[in-house]
Chain A
Amino acid sequence: MNYDTVRFLRRMFASYYKRAGLSMPRDFWMREWGFIPFGVKMMSRHRAFRSAAEIRSFLRENAPAHVFFSSAIYERPSAANMADKGWRGADLIFDLDADHIIDADHIIRGEISYDKMLERVKVETAKLMDFLVADFGIDERDIEIVFSGARGYHVHVCRDDVRALRNKERREIVDYLSASGLDSEFRSVDPGIGSEAWRHGGGWRRRIFRGLMDFFREIKRMDRDDAVKALCRIDGVGVKSAMKVVEFMAKMDDDAIEEWVARCMLDNRLRWIPGVHCRLIQDHAVSLRSMKPDAPVTSDIHRLIRMPTSLHGKTGLIVKPLSVKELDDFEPLEDAVAFSSDRTVRVKALKRNAVRMKGHEYAVEDGEEAELPVCAAVYFMCRGVAEICDAARGVG
């Protein structure tokens, strides 16, 4: 990124911070803030602000590429040493990033488009929401979903009772979401929790129950060949056993299947559908319903998180807060675009690249000079694939 580009981007970001309605995190004065300026790789950390006006004017004047604050609140947020800060608690924040959810190789090789990538992350985010609301009993109003400005979503849970959770306890939540350490036979669960309790009691037992029911109903609906194929996709299930399962299922109606699955789970014993280990199918149900093991990196209670409503310096997109309802229809490359598509600016491309923004496809070729709408130009410059031409002219 050359100096002219840095200056241009700084001016654009400053203009955004002048007009945008910035949202301040709860207790912002007790948080540590960190910034990465344009053209610099190092983060300047351990800053603290006493008023929202101070933060706004800092952003307007410095227009940093990246803005972060701590998920934690501290007694002395500006202390240079973690031990001196006086940790008072931390929000529970889940970081769902495409890098964790999708095989990194696919991303690097460009086998998956940006849209598709975000679509997959959205599915995981919806899964997380179900966990948080149904299992953890967290009110949707206490959950803030934030588009990260690049390849994922952050989910903030802002509640006093989760703030005090320590590292180890947060790790337990992550393990719960990813079903890691799940004793799928529930051997270790107190036998006192027998009877029908689990059907209503929640937890993984109920999730597995629902998962198995969905799976078998689906199998029953399919025609014979598809059903066998679907079963064979499960590790360890062969054609012969798959056919036996299909036959077994054909003899039963939905109620009978439900009873059968319930009995299987109640016994806590591995039952065989003639030919297939029920356990395999159960594991399959778990894998469909759990979150990717590394997806939510929530257990670090000192981490910095991107400020909602700030701009992401690698895309120029808004780090956009969303309500649960808005998530469904949210289109990052429409709804999180900060800059105008009417005015244009001249750039020189360093690498070939393309983006679909506000309904238009923008593409640049290696070495090409092009007149582009500001929003696309900023995106390419932030990505490091273009430099500004004719800096003096600025935005036309």
Chain B
Amino acid sequence: MTAAAPNTFRAGPDERGFFGLFGGRFVAETLMPLILDLERAYEDAKKDPAFKAELEHLNTHYTGRPSPLYYAERLTEHLRKDAPAGKGAKVYFKRDELNHTGSHKINNCLGQILLARRMGKTRIIAETGAGQHGVATATVAARFGLPCEIYMGATDVERQAPNVFRMKLLGAELHPVTAGNGTLKDAMNEALRDWVTNVENTYYLIGTAAGPHPYPELVRDFQSVIGREAKEQMLAAEGRLPDTLVACIGGGSNAIGLFHPFLDDKDVAIVGVEAGGHGLDVENGHAASMNGGRPGVLHGNRTYLLQDDDGQILEGHSISAGLDYPGVGPEHSWLRDTGRVEYVPATDREALDAFQLLTRVEGIIPALEPAHALAEVVKRAPRMDRDRIILMNLCGRGDKDVFSVARHLGVSI
């Protein structure tokens, strides 16, 4: 299904929170008044120069922005070795893994905690999958002196032990969630249940560009600093825009952050990489909602979802705890259907190989999430001409994944 191409891909969402068919505000009545408050507070903040100035100050001095744009020379040469003559695009990384807390998640958390403070909320809750968003949330909560409770699937608690300890060190209270399969979707359900119960004093700091309007919009806006910087940096480095952008997609916040400022640059091809898990042909063995799911409604928005024939949500699977979510941000669903962005899968195995390749060739240990994006770069760069440029969002570092990668490689440490 391909909708007619709009004049601009950057105007959404509409006033009701829709990107075409996708998005919206599908929440229980208890939350609705608060969602409307949040929308007003965000509209207000957007117009306030002091809000923007404070966020920029924190981005610079707390997070360490701008993150570098890095030409991965050794990886580029490595991929050219087996490429046909004249092939092998230059590979650049946007290094958001160098941010304070180790991923792009901090960009969004700083923006949202400023909003929470503006709204007079005194308690922060969040869900987390890989723990990156939990760590970033616990970090900003510590920085602003607000109590923080994090919901994390029990399975994820087990496979992300270093991040669990980090959150505790930062003073967050951690709630392991055993409902369902004990992964990100179940953690999000529990966070929503907490929010419904404590709606008066609590701010729900959603970690990805999904959920009810205005979350997809505001998370995207806070993450778009990635793409704005990358555009400027690429013009400075190469005097032109990249030919192709690549980013991994769980909920899709790092991806939309990179993509959004480039959406109307028609010569820039854009590729999102979903978690292919054991392979798209394995039933419930992947987390590629746009390649292996269909539209539905979950967690406050309409979007592509992994679901069975009866509309029951599937758990999905990925080696990466940050990608095994059965849905995706609604703007991605819309970009898929309009054809502006191409979404492809990368399997667990491909991600694991890419993880090891980058570690050896560039001395950068990536998180398993961007290792999926890298798997696509490894496939795509050798097919592109040498004078082409591919820019990948290296959105997280892999320290947290070292133990689970060892386990997958059969190494005991």
Partners in one complex: no
Chain B residues packing against A (C-beta within 8 Å): none
